[in-house]
Structure 1
Amino acid sequence: MKNVVEPLKYENGVLKLLDQRVLPLEEVYMTAKTIEDCFRAIQDMVVRGAPLIGFTGIWGLALFLKNNPKVVLPQFEQAAEYLKSARPTAVNLAYEIDRCVEMARSETHLSALYPKLVDHALAEMNNLYEKNLAMAKFAEVELQKIYGDRPLNVMTICNTGTLACGVLGTALGVIVHLNQQKKVKHVFASETRPYLQGSRLTSFELIKEGINHEIVVEGAASYLMKNKMVDAIFAGADRIVENGDTANKVGTSSLSIIAKHYGIPFFIVAPVSSFDLEMKTGDQIEIELRDPNEILKFKGAHIAHPEAKALNPSFDVTDHSCITAILCENGAINPVTPENVRNVAGQK
């Protein structure tokens, strides 16, 4: 199935990355020819979304081998650690890079690994589409238990569609699938400050899919839920730990707390690769703090007093007690308990 938008393309040994910083007004591709290009693309949010970051990591190591055909294993491992440091919160980056390192350790000559990494990256993206579709079908079953087959008003935060995954998507992929089944009445896309992934990216994808929607600011969530305008909420995940605590875009936690207060189902949608079962609780998750200027400035111009300061956490941790179910390709984790998380997501 061809995507309505392609955030990543590999053509003739060159990686092309859709610059998500300038969407939706411009569709510009950045060319990545080196591992350093991939590092900067991840760190500077040319690409974002946990699965797509992971895929970019694979391509980064492939380009490293392409440009350094005589590299030895210690150098490859050092390059892998360098790339992993680009963004620490999303587990997919480390997961995909660690798999590449395992592949390297099984090779006698690393020169043979470059084409294998290319094939691996392409295969993983194809596999993720099938996994995303499985998650969407599990979501459909969970919603049917609650609401039957009636069309629903749903809400989401950040961007978790093709732009985040390279294929169908997680939370937004669920919404796209439900719409294809005539089960979506309306979508509320949370603006998602300060990078505006909701207004810039999710709305962009919803328009491409022809899905009826409105953009709302995060502060409007309580208004919508109190007035019974939202039936269910879907969010993605950058890291899910053993007890079900989930790191996702900052604002997800408060959204889940409001949903719990008003009795609205709140779902996390993520592939098994986003689970980190070595961590017991969300307190162990490292939260990335980004440049304060992302809050203090807009397109280079001050929107706060020049002497103002800002704190800019990129993620927060949603407590497992506020999550109705976690949906992955292996099934629905409902209720969210350590035992259920291990049983459903324990096999990667």
Structure 2
Amino acid sequence: MNAIRWQGDSLALLDQTKLPVEEVWEDYTDYRKVADAIRRLVVRGAPAIGIAAAYAVCLAAMELQCQDTAQFRAGMARAAKELAASRPTAVNLFWALDRMTLALSAGGGGPEAIPALVREAEAIHREDISMNRKIGKYGAELVPEGARILTHCNAGAIATGGFGTALGVVRAAHAAGGVEMVYCDETRPLLQGARLTAWELMRDGIPATLITDSMAASLMAQGKIDMVFLGCDRMARNGDFANKIGTYGVAVLAAYHGIPFYTVLPSSTIDMSIPDGKHIVIEERDPAEVTHFAGVQTAPEGIRVCNPAFDVTPHKLLTGIVTEKGVIHPPFGERLLELFG
């Protein structure tokens, strides 16, 4: 299962805004439209955003290839700036753009660098899938037989290069016979859990139950949740992390009920340049995402809206961090520096 395909001179993206009702693939040859697709959540999930942006850099280079070197470099700088502005929180976007900038320079800095850019984008894509599979293996070792797992938002194959981070753990654990049930928070306001996670799990034949976000506490109190696995959009070097809005609340509930709580991420999502979660920029999205649903108004006209896309969970609420280098336990700052610093 994947949501991103490079086609040699174009990029195909699975339009995630249309799932689960329709599976629609759109072709892109213009990097500006890829930036817009990232903004509109056609492609979403930190690793997938980084991969899509890397391929968008290739599209920009192909568009500019008939320009002289100076014009080419100026155009590439504009493209990178526009792509970087598409979404501010997911660090994979900036990590991928930095890699593509280095590949451009190493390839000569002009149109002659296009093959090197394509190779680098394809490498970013392959590496993400490889990291996901390693993450799945390490995470599955944490899952006891008959586990009932809660997840929030979508950290699956379509949020990555393929296989998934949190859902990669679920997939690997299910293959080993360890999963009795996965409870999917619907994930307001855009329902990524209901629309995307439930869709992925059902396609893979993994037992799944959809719940509203407000039901998680009740299920935990009834002893129906054994552990929590969810994704990450940016982690600071002390282990604080940003993920889909509502994650912090799930973490507090898990801590109160004594339930193991894990975030699952590749190293490309760790930002060692920031000391803690206070330095993570949180994207504020369109109020209409809260006041309307499927084009239908659900709130009074003129009501004030707060719509942050993410919240920051303090590292003290984490049981562990699952990465492609293994499972990290406290003290998180020391271990992250050891492995990724």
Give the structure-2-normalised TM-score.
0.96
**1:46 corresponding residue in structure 2:** 42
Q: Distance in 2 between matches of 1:336 and 1:74?
A: 44
1:269 Cα offset (Å): 0.4
Structure 1's unaligned 5+ residue stretches are 144-148
Alpha carbons 2:261, 2:318 under 8 Å: kept: yes
Give the one of 134, 154, 158 matched to 1:159.
154
1:72 Cα offset (Å): 3.1
Give the one of 35, 55, 60 matched to 1:64.
60
Alpha carbons 1:192, 1:217 under 8 Å: kept: yes
Alpha carbons 2:320, 2:328 under 8 Å: kept: yes
Alpha carbons 1:325, 1:336 under 8 Å: kept: no
Q: Deviations over 1:107-134 (max 9, x none)?
A: 3252122222222222222222221111
**1:262 corresponding residue in structure 2:** 257
**2:20 corresponding residue in structure 1:** 24
Q: Distance in 1 between matches of 2:187 and 2:210?
A: 10
1:336 Cα offset (Å): 4.3
Alpha carbons 2:103, 2:120 under 8 Å: kept: no
Does the residue aligned with 1:142 lie in a helix, a strand or coil? coil
Structure 1 runs of 4+ aligned residues shifted over 6 Å read none
Report the more deviating stretch, 106-115 or 306-315. Answer: 106-115
Give the % identical residues.
Answer: 35
Q: Deviations over 1:303-346 (max 9, x none)?
A: 11123221100000011000100111112110142111111233
1:300 Cα offset (Å): 1.8
Give the one of 320, 326, 335 matched to 2:321.
326
Give the one of 16, 30, 33 matched to 2:29.
33
Give the one of 170, 173, 176 matched to 1:175.
170
Q: Distance in 2 between matches of 1:300 and 1:228?
A: 37
Report the more deviating stretch, 84-93 or 217-226. Answer: 217-226
Structure 2's unaligned 5+ residue stretches are none
Alpha carbons 1:133, 1:168 under 8 Å: kept: yes
Equivalent pairs counted in the alignment come to: 337
Q: Distance in 1 between matches of 2:147 and 2:56?
A: 41
Q: Distance in 1 between matches of 2:237 and 2:8?
A: 41
2:277 corresponds to 1:292:
no
**Where in structure 2 are the equivalents of 1:4-153 lying within 5 Å?**
6-69=2-65, 70=67, 71-143=71-143, 149-153=144-148
**1:222 corresponding residue in structure 2:** 217
Q: Kindly tell me: are residues 109 and 249 of structure 1, through their superposed partners in 2, closer, same or farther at Cα, counting changes over 3 Å?
A: closer
Q: Report the aligned-residue RMSD.
A: 1.3
Alpha carbons 1:234, 1:269 under 8 Å: kept: yes
Alpha carbons 1:333, 1:344 under 8 Å: kept: no
Does the residue aligned with 1:20 lie in a helix, a strand or coil? coil
Q: Distance in 1 between matches of 2:193 and 2:153?
A: 5
